Amino acid sequence: MTALKASMAGTVLNILVAEGDAVTAGQAVITIESMKMEIPIEAEVGGKVEKIHVEVGSFVNEEDTLLTLGE
């Protein structure tokens, strides 16, 4: 299990995957809006999306967990 964390504080703009989806390392999975910029959050490792912890519009702080990836 790997937790994918927010690289900076902002608002969740888009969620590009669903629970159960397979993702590859480097794939953009969530977009955060911060400082009026779109910030792509990429999976650091490949795996299956186990749980998405946020919804569109949620405020997240730096280091908050966005989703968890399983094997």
Smallest separation, CB 19 to other proteins (Å): 25
State in angstroms the smallest separation of the CB of 61 from other proteins. 7
* Of residues 33 and 50, the one with the C-beta less far from other proteins: 33
Chain centroid offset of residue 54 CA? 8
* d(C-alpha 22, C-alpha 36), whole Å: 30
Shortest Cβ 46–other proteins spacing (Å): 19
Q: Which residues bind other proteins (CB under 8 A)?
A: 7-9, 34-40, 61-62
Q: Cα–Cα distance between 18 and 16 in angstroms, integer?
A: 7
